[in-house]
C-alpha cells in the first residue's frame, strides 16, 4: 500500500479519537447500556464501511481477508472484556472513570500493536519459516485455551505495576479522573500516582498479552501489513463500547472459550499446511464465523449461572479538596 493510504487511515483514526474524548466524553461519566449499544453499532458500521472501501479499491480477496481478521479480533476481544471486568472489580473503579481508562488504554494499544505488527511483518519477509512458528504457537494456544480454567487476578505478579510502585508512591483513593497528582510528601512536593494509573497499566499489559495470540492469528489469514493493522485497529476502536455493552453478561458465553480454541487451532493448522494445502479465504471466513456462531448460540441455549467475582474493597471516593496528603501511601503500596 502507498504511504498515502497509511497516513489517511491513521489520520482518520486520530481524528475520531480526538472527537470522542474532546466532545462526546470530555467529562467523566457513566456509559449507559443504550449508549454503549449505539456506539457499538456505530463502530461496527464504520468497520464494514471501510471494508467496502477495501473491496472497491483492492478487490474481493483483500476485503475477505480484512473481514476475517476483523471477526477473529472481535471474538478474541471478549476475553479482553472478561479480564477488564476483573481489573475494574478488583480496584473498584467508579463506572464514570472506566471509559477514560479504556480510551487511553486503547490509544496505547494502537501504538504497541502497530509496533508488533511491524516487527512481525519484518520477520515474515526476512524469515518466512517464522510463519510455521506462529502456526505451531496458535495450535498450542488453542489446545491450552480449551482446557484452561478461570484464574484470579494477581496484581502483585505484574512486573510493570511493581515498577510503578517502586518509582512512585500510590494514593489510597481516586482523585477524579487524574492519573497522577502533586502532593506534599515530607518537606517537599512530588508527583504521586493514583490507583487510576495502576489500573491503566494493568489494562495496557493485559492487551499486550492478548496481542501475542491475536496478531499471529490474523497473520494466518494474510501477511499484508495494511490489512493486518487496519483489521486490528477497527476491532480495537470498538472495544470500549463493546465492554460497556457486554461487561454484565460476558460470563454467560460459557462455550465461547471453547469456540475460540477451535478457531485458534484451525488458523494455526492452516498456517502449518499452507505449503501443501491451500485453504481459500472464503472457507476460512465461513469456518471462523460458523464456529463462533455455534459457540455463542450454544451459550444462549444452554446458559450457566454466572459466577460472582467478589471485588477487593477499596474506597472509591475522591478525597476532599486540599487533603491529598492525608491519603498518600508513603510506602508506595496499595491498601
Domain borders along the chain are 3-149+211-313
Give 227's pLDDT tier (boundaries 50, 70, 90).
Answer: very high
Q: What is the pLDDT of residues 69-111, one digit of tens each?
A: 999 888 887 777 878 888 888 888 888 888 888 888 888 888 8
Q: Do 292 and 257 meet the contact criterion of CB atoms below 8 Å apart?
A: no
The alpha-carbon radius of gyration of the chain (Å, integer) is 21
For 259, other C-beta atoms within 10 Å of its C-beta total 25
Each residue's pLDDT tens digit, 103-145: 888 888 888 888 888 888 888 888 888 888 888 988 988 888 8
pTM of the model: 0.78
Residue 328 pLDDT > 50: no
pLDDT of amino acid 203: 86
Given this model, what pLDDT does residue 156 score?
65
Q: What is the pLDDT of residue 315?
A: 38
> Which residue's C-alpha cell is 491513521?
10
Sequence-distant (6+) residues with CB within 8 A of 93 are 87, 101, 174, 195, 196, 199, 316
pLDDT digits (tens, 9 = 90+) for 253-306: 888 888 888 988 998 898 888 888 888 888 888 998 899 889 889 988 887 654
Q: Please give the pLDDT value at position 252.
A: 76
Question: What's the confidence (pLDDT) of residue 70?
Answer: 93
Q: List the one residue out of 314, 309, 317, 319 whose CA is nearest residue 333.
A: 314
CA distance 85 to 144: 22
What's the mean pLDDT in 146-169? 71
Task: Give the Cα separation of 250 and 159 in Å (integer).
Answer: 28
Of 176 and 331, the one with more pLDDT: 176
Supply the pLDDT for residue 248.
67
| pLDDT on residue 154 | 67
Is 328 or 305 the better-scoring residue by pLDDT? 305
The per-residue pLDDT for 229 is: 92
pLDDT(179) > 80: yes
Check whether 63 has a pLDDT greater than 90.
Answer: yes
Counted residue by residue, the chain has a size of 335
Q: Where are the beta strands (DSSP E) in the chain?
A: 170-171, 180-185, 188-193, 328-329
Q: Using one digit for the tens of pLDDT, what is the confidence trace for 12-52?
A: 888 888 887 666 666 666 777 888 888 889 999 999 999 99
Euclidean distance between CA atoms 259 and 262, whole angstroms: 5
The confidence score (pLDDT) of residue 308 equals: 45
- pLDDT score at 46: 93
The pLDDT of residue 313: 37
Amino acid at each position: 500500500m502507498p504511504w498515502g493510504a497509511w497516513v489517511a487511515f491513521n489520520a482518520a483514526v486520530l481524528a475520531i479519537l480526538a472527537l470522542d474524548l474532546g466532545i462526546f466524553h470530555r467529562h467523566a461519566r457513566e456509559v449507559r447500556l443504550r449508549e454503549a449499544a449505539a456506539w457499538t453499532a456505530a463502530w461496527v458500521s464504520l468497520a464494514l464501511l471501510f471494508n467496502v472501501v477495501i473491496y472497491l479499491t483492492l478487490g474481493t480477496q483483500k476485503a475477505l481477508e480484512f473481514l476475517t481478521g476483523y471477526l477473529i479480533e472481535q471474538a478474541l476481544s471478549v476475553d479482553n472484556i472478561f479480564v477488564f471486568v476483573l481489573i475494574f472489580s478488583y480496584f473498584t473503579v467508579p463506572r464514570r472513570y472506566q471509559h477514560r481508562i479504556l480510551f487511553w488504554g486503547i490509544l496505547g494499544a494502537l501504538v504497541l500493536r502497530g509496533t508488533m505488527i511491524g516487527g512481525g511483518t519484518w520477520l515474515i519477509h526476512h524469515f518466512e519459516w517464522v510463519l510455521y512458528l506462529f502456526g505451531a504457537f496458535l495450535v498450542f494456544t488453542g489446545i491450552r485455551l480449551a482446557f484452561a480454567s478461570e484464574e484470579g487476578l494477581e496484581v502483585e505478579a505484574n512486573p510493570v505495576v511493581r515498577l510503578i510502585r517502586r518509582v512512585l508512591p500510590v494514593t489510597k483513593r481516586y482523585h477524579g479522573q487524574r492519573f497522577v497528582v502533586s502532593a506534599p510528601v515530607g518537606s517537599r512536593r512530588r508527583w504521586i500516582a493514583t490507583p487510576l494509573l495502576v489500573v491503566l497499566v494493568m489494562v495496557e499489559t493485559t492487551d499486550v498479552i492478548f496481542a501475542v495470540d491475536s496478531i499471529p492469528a490474523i497473520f494466518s489469514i494474510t501477511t499484508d501489513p495494511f490489512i493486518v493493522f487496519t483489521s486490528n485497529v477497527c476491532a480495537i476502536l470498538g472495544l470500549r463500547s463493546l465492554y460497556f455493552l457486554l461487561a454484565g453478561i460476558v460470563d454467560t458465553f460459557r462455550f465461547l472459550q471453547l469456540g475460540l480454541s477451535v478457531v485458534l487451532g484451525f488458523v494455526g493448522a492452516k498456517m502449518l499446511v499452507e505449503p501443501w494445502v491451500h485453504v481459500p479465504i472464503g472457507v476460512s471466513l465461513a469456518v471462523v464465523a460458523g464456529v463462533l456462531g455455534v459457540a455463542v448460540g450454544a451459550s444462549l441455549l444452554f446458559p450457566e449461572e454466572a459466577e460472582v467475582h467478589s471485588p477487593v474493597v477499596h474506597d472509591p471516593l475522591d478525597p476532599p479538596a486540599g487533603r491529598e496528603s492525608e491519603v498518600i501511601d508513603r510506602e508506595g503500596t496499595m491498601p
